A and B are shown apart, each in its own frame.
Chain A
Amino acid sequence: MGDIRQSLLPRDVLSAAKELLYHLDIYICNMVQSGRQPPQVDSKTLDLIEEFILHTPKDRNAPVRRMSALQELQLLEIMCSCFQEQSRDTVRQLMFSALFNLQGNQADESRMALLSKLVSMAVAVGRVPILECAATWLQRTHRVYCVRLAQVLVDDYCSMVPGSGPTLRNIHSASPRFCCQFITAVTTLYDLTSDELTPPLELLQMIVSWIQDDPRLVLINFLNSPLSGSQPISSLDITPLGGLIRWCIKAPLAYRRDKKQAGTNGSSDGEPDAPHLFSALHLSVLQVFMLLPNILNEKGLFGRLALLQMESVASLTSDLSRLLDQTDKHTLAATTDTHGASQLALDRLAQALQVAMASGALLCSREDLRAICSRLPHNNLLQLVLSGPVMYYNNIHTPPLAYSPHAAHSPMPAHATLPTLPTHTPHTPLTSHPASHTQYPTQPFITGMPFPFRPGH
């Protein structure tokens, strides 16, 4: 493979890249067919890629070859068709990783740039194979780079080109895996700490509709990926659950701040506003949690794999407490509005914690939780969650209430919706209800615990 360099050198930029791609394709096909294990592209080939596709100067003396934007577009187009036409997944994957796996050298910048453009283009023209490869890439790469890719996509489709949002929305159907990874990356990127890091409304809508349509989307990578342990260090979480929970919990505070700045002119008529979207999102996330016990049990991982890391919960609570402090400071005379917002955030935290623990996504003791949540202000529901035993719906003898979207705002009804959730989840067939019920036969610690809100007390 390395010997073609001499033939590539005199070519113009584009045709050299084209030829290299062609040779790479053949080379990888051969490699896969020979069944060499592990299928690894040698470093000489990687060098060639860097030189002729990414155009990193090999040495100082070499003239810098640079593609014009047009040539780059042509190259992207060729790549798109190249991946599209390659029928074998393995070859595709190998080729993609040969091209775009980060090598930790100076070529990474142009690699990222090219990748971003390629993915953005693939989104536009619906190249599923590329999106699939990109999904894999997102699983394996350091989260910083994943976030950058997500940023490019969000910029391209949600802010730069008006009216191109629907195109991005399509990735859900085109490649759920990519979509899932994208959500993870986006929730990692937008941690609601500042205005810049608040997701655009369009993106939020998109994500909410995705999850509402298909809650399992969130788990799809978890479902498809092999067992844990193969996760590279500091890659993205395997599910976007942590990030989504963070969004839901911090949103009441962050968006309130937003609204205050935007004033009254920000009301977009016709479209659902952010609080509603987050409320819906919160519900969806809780529903996803409810799916977990089955899946974990199927995989035999219940109680062994924490989809929600303790550390992320800890950082979330500390963020929250700081945020609440700030809110209090900013509005000395705490209005009912701000009070309501912080209570909503705490309610959501409590709900999420309880459901996560119950569904086996969060593995920790109550003491740990108490320690984490000690600095938070008082909230009835949270108090309940922290002090009481996990209340499973089959042990609470309260009549099921009807679900209403407004219920999420008051602690009591939100709490009360929990038992009814499965019945209203569209994707969960009713028949599975007894099955899931049977999975938790014994709850020895339920009785005897003080429960202030229990009827009859």
Chain B
Amino acid sequence: MSVVFDGTPLKAMQSSHSHKARTALSAQELSQEIKSFISGVDALQGRKLSVREHARCAVRLLRSVPACRGAVLEHLRGVYDEHVSTFLHNLETEGNASSGASSNLEDIIQEVHGVLSEFIRLNPRAWAPLVSTWAVDLLGQLSSKHAGRRVAPHSSSLNELLQLWMSCAATRSLMEAYSQCLAAMLAWCPDACVDALLDTSVKHSPHFDWVVAHIGSAFPGTIISRVLACGLKDFCSHGGKDQGLLVEKGSKVPKIGSVVGILGHLAAHHSDSIRKELLRMFQESLTPSTPLSPTSSSTSWEASPQLRRAAVPFLLQLAAMSPNLFGAVSSELVEMLRPPVLLQLQALLQGLPREELDNMLGLAVHLISQSPTGGARVLKFLADTATPASVIISGPTPSPHEGVREGCDRLLQMLLLHLHKLVFNRSDGAEVSPLSSASSQPQRVTPFLEELRSHVGQLCAETLRLERKRHLWLHQLLCLLSVYGGPSVATETLCQLLTQARNPEELALAWQLHTTLSSCMAGLIPAAVAHCVAQIHTHTLGPRQLRQLLLNLAAAIQSQDEERKGAAGAHFSMAVQIGSAISGHLHDFGPLLLHGDSAVSHAAVRLLSCSPLPRTSSPAHLLLLSRAAVTHFFLALRRRGDAKKVGRDVGQTGEAVSCSVLLLSRFAAYSPLTLKAILQQLVEGALHKGNADLFGGQIADMSGAPVASPSVSPDLGASLLDINCRFGTTVNFSGSVWSVFHAGVIGKGLKVRTAVNLPDPSAVIQNIQTLLAVIVQCCSSSSFNGSQSPSDPDEPQPINAEAAKVVAVTLVENVCPDVANGELSWPPEEHARTTVERDIYIRRCFEAHPILFPLLQVVAAGRPALCYCSAVLRGLLATLLSHWEGSRDALSTDSPWHLQASCLLVSCMGEGQLLPPVLANVHEAFAHLTPFEVRLLLLAVWEYVRGNGPLPQKFVFSSDKCMFCRDFSRDGDVSRYVAPIHSVLHKNIDRLGHLCWRFQL
């Protein structure tokens, strides 16, 4: 209330005064006023003037004595300052209104403001420059003077600052006055006021920002362009050469600093217009000046060629100083740099002196390296532009684009150099002070590289395109990126290269990269391989990529072998490293053998077949691997067969098989465990239903149970009762005396044999050969042999007894389902009746699987392993005996399979030294005998074996032959078993004469 009462008379007085002033004071009065104003004492009454009266006096002088203008304005500074002090003090004392009211100068401020704005309105040309300078200067002074006050917010919180100052009458009035001036001056000399603003901004830097921000948001469009224009002019007058010395100058900071500051503030709300303005500046600096075109801006810096030339360096400098501005512009700038623009740019820059160009180049490089976003695009642009278009176009006369291209080329190279420095200095710095931990010395961040980290894949792909110069640049960049990003990026990069390379040349890039990086990074390759494995596990790679990766890895390891012969070196060591890394991850690659895509599995087998094996490995892994390898082997065989049928990919599938064979043999040689597993699985696999046909086998009905042919019982919805009523299904009597054989159902004839589709015999033979080769290799190269190596490489290694035993045992397990009567020693021949069912089963097995005989031969070769097949041999022999006994044919050759089986059996037993040579040779005569005679001979064999049990302990290792041998002389007399042979010889001496010598004791 007191304010109101206090104010009213003052208002009246003030109006009367102003009225008086308008009606022209006399010269005498004016002189009195001046005296009062100067002394601060009322000239007539001799008392001291209050601040308010003094200010009034000043205003009167302002209105009537032009010469006092300067002094009055200066005096008013004090008044404004006083008001601000009071204002802040009131705020600090939490609004003690009573004390504040007395010295509240708000009315006088209003009065001054009224006078000034009237003057500006009446004569803007004269007053606007004067008042704007004054107001801005005073604002600067006030805001920096009172910046330290308790209530004043920190200069960084711009909004609070703005709020505070705009609530203060003095500063608000100044601001309004300045705005008015600016609005008036924009019409004819906008530069002057913006200049003042910039100068003050420089002087009172952080505290003055709110003014700039306010003005800027009040006049965004104009202020932005003016500020830019002013900055450009200033920049131009300072000359580009000072750029580098910017920091050292200190005292005389060019306006560019405040330009950056101002634009930075405005960027918060007007980033769009700032960007537009900057881009416009850039564009207009390029377009040749057309004096006729009326450019909107009155500054018309575009008109001066010198300024236009300076625009680009200026913009660069601006961008260098403010990441905000740079960020705003960079993205669109790249879009804008189309060929015509580039040509213009080149034309513009050609005029610049060399050192300035170098400066700019350095600046541009710096900017690119610091740009946090759009790095990939910039890079692409640079690379695209710098890559020579094509050999044909760049003829003898350099096209105009050639200059642009060279410029870009140079820029790119500088960029790489710069990045190189950044990257390597950075790590150097870390090495110099090893004591300081990584956290205490934060590594310098290079935004460009930081951003590219996420583009490693694309970069790799680009690099691998091997386009002329581009891949060199990119490769270099990848190196830098890897060093910068540390092991993770390096790994990623290497991994990408390994995945994406498609031929040796491309793969060589990976090696080059590694060579560069290996000096500063350890364990790169293991990490890369681990990364690849991780990718495999996560299924991020498509089949093609996967295949490529595996092939590349294989190629890498294989190069090791080649290099070993030739020059060794870093390359070699790298191949070794890859090998060892992969060997650690073999079990991860194992499953890939069974990948659905044949190409992948092929690649996998290639990799595995050439990769070295780990020193140690867990049995579980080994078993998994061996299972996978064996399964793959059969797959490969099948594929080979299929390919042959179709006549396509024969070579590849063949190679897959050989790789698989190699893998198996190497793997088998790795440890007894693997050997055993592989052999076991190989045999099992060969006999497996699914693979049987590969080896000419038939899926025979092994059980005695009848096959429910679909034609017979079409009714699928058969009742359980019906099934149970069927003979033989209710109880399984197999192996017991109750066994019943079904040859068919009475009245329906013989049981229908399943349809036989014989595969291509040549393929079967090939497959069998392959399988045998694998098994023989596995058995002979096994680790059981230890250190011993044959002196003669041509002589095949003897089959290892242990390995053969494995095969034998597996064979027995598979062929002979019943373990009863499984002892090694043979019973009398009559006892065979008890095992008829089992024996028939065994025979059917042999019938169904032709592969069994060759396997038996293998076993036989690995003495004394055949002993373990005793049960099988016995069963087979028993069925053969009963066959020959019951046979009513004239000649043994009338039942060919049995003849062959008999021959093979006997020869196998001979080879396995279950029989002495005399007895073993009997099979030679079989073909010439009658079935009965064959039976006689086979019976003799049986008798011998019964008499001289096939026990392994009868074999002794003869070191000279490197194998086990049986000394038949220790056994009983052979002659009594030879007697039937001799009788048969006698009987058929006409046909068997030539064989007599074979049976001499």
Contacts and interface: CB of A to CB of B under 8 A. Distances in A.
B303 interface: no
A68 B68 CA distance: 12
Interface in B63-107: 63-71, 73-75
Nearest to B26: A126
Contacts of A155: 66, 126
A229 interface: no
A77 B34 contact: yes
B645 interface: no
A73 B70 contact: yes
Given A68-B74, A69-B73, A160 B24 contact: no
B24 A166 contact: yes
B31 A157 contact: no
Interface in A31-47: none
Contacts of A441: none
B468 interface: no
A410 interface: no
A159 B123 contact: yes
Interface string A61-89: 00000001110111011001000000000
Contact residues of A: prevailing secondary structure: helix
A121 B71 contact: no
Q: Describe B's contact surface by its main secondary structure.
A: helix
B73 A161 contact: no
Contacts of A80: 31
A163 B62 CA distance: 11
A170 interface: yes
A120 B66 contact: yes
Interface string B1-40: 0000000000000000000001010111011001101100
B69 A124 contact: no
B38 A160 contact: no
Given A73-B38, A77-B35, A77-B38, A162 B70 contact: no
B74 A160 contact: no
Interface string B403-437: 00000000000000000000000000000000000
Given A70-B75, A155-B126, A163-B24, A125 B66 contact: no
Between A73, A80, A121, the greatest number of chain B beta carbons within 10 A of the residue's beta carbon is seen for A73
For A161, A163, A164, the residue with the greatest tally of chain B CB atoms inside 10 Å of its CB is A161
A164 B122 CA distance: 13
B119 interface: yes
B942 interface: no
Contacts of A157: 66
Contacts of A55: none
A170 B30 CA distance: 14
B483 to A, nearest CB: 56
B127 interface: yes
Nearest to B122: A162
B74 A69 contact: yes
A158 B941 CA distance: 149
Interface string B135-170: 000000000000000000000000000000000000
Given A126-B27, A162-B122, A156 B66 contact: yes
Interface residues on B, range: 20 to 34
A167 B69 CA distance: 16
A17 to B, nearest CB: 14
Contacts of A159: 123, 125-126
Interface in A136-166: 155-157, 159-164, 166
B65 A125 contact: yes
Contacts of B30: 124-126
A415 interface: no
Nearest to A163: B22
Contacts of A5: none
A72 B71 contact: yes
B66 A164 contact: yes
A125 B34 contact: yes
A73 B71 contact: yes
B252 to A, nearest CB: 18
Given A73-B34, A77-B34, A77-B38, A160 B65 contact: no
A366 B865 CA distance: 154
A124 B71 contact: no
Contact of A160 (B34, B37, B75, B119): B119
A117 interface: yes
Contact of A121 (B62, B68, B127): B68
Given A73-B34, A125-B31, A167-B24, A160 B67 contact: no
Contacts of B69: 160
A118 B125 CA distance: 23
A167 to B, nearest CB: 7
A68 B127 CA distance: 20
A159 B35 CA distance: 25
Given A73-B68, A120-B65, A160-B126, 15 more contacts: A69-B70, A69-B73, A73-B71, A121-B67, A124-B65, A125-B31, A125-B34, A126-B27, A126-B30, A126-B31, A155-B126, A159-B123, A162-B123, A163-B22, A163-B24
Q: Which 4 A-B pairs have the closest CB atoms?
A: A126-B27, A156-B66, A69-B70, A73-B71
Interface of B: 22, 24, 26-28, 30-31, 34-35, 37-38, 62-71, 73-75, 118-119, 122-123, 125-127
30 contacts: A68-B74, A69-B70, A70-B74, A72-B70, A73-B38, A73-B71, A77-B35, A117-B67, A118-B67, A120-B66, A120-B67, A121-B34, A121-B67, A124-B30, A124-B65, A125-B34, A125-B65, A126-B28, A126-B30, A126-B31, A157-B66, A159-B125, A160-B66, A161-B62, A161-B63, A161-B64, A162-B123, A164-B64, A167-B27, A170-B27
